[in-house]
Amino acid sequence: MTERGQRHCSRDRTEFTIGPSQLHWDGSALTIDIQEVGMPIPHPIRGRVRVHPQGLFNFSTPLDARGLHRWGPLAPHARVEVALAQPGQKWSGHGYLDSNEGDEPIAKAFTEWDWSRGQLKDGSTAVIYDVEPEGTPDQANARLLALRFKPDGSIEPFNAPSSQRLPRTRWGIARRMRSDGPVSVAQQLEDTPFYQRAILNSSLLGEQVSSFHETLNVPRLVSPVVQAMLPWRMPRRR
143 pLDDT more than 60: yes
Q: What does the pLDDT look like over 34-73, one tens digit per residue?
A: 999 988 889 999 999 999 999 999 999 999 989 999 999 9
Domain count along the chain? 1
CA distances from 97 to 19, 29, 30, 55, 137 (A): 21, 12, 10, 11, 31
235 pLDDT more than 90: no
Q: What does the pLDDT look like over 146-180, one tens digit per residue?
A: 999 999 999 999 999 999 999 999 999 999 999 99
Average predicted confidence (pLDDT) for the chain? 93
Give the pLDDT band (50/70/90) at residue 131: very high
Residue 191 belongs to domain spanning? 3-237
| Cβ-based neighbour number of residue 209 at 10 Å | 20
Q: How many helices (H) and strands (E) does the chain have?
A: 2, 19
| pLDDT for the residue numbered 136 | 56
Q: What does the pLDDT look like over 109-120, one tens digit per residue?
A: 999 999 999 999
This prediction has a pTM of 0.89
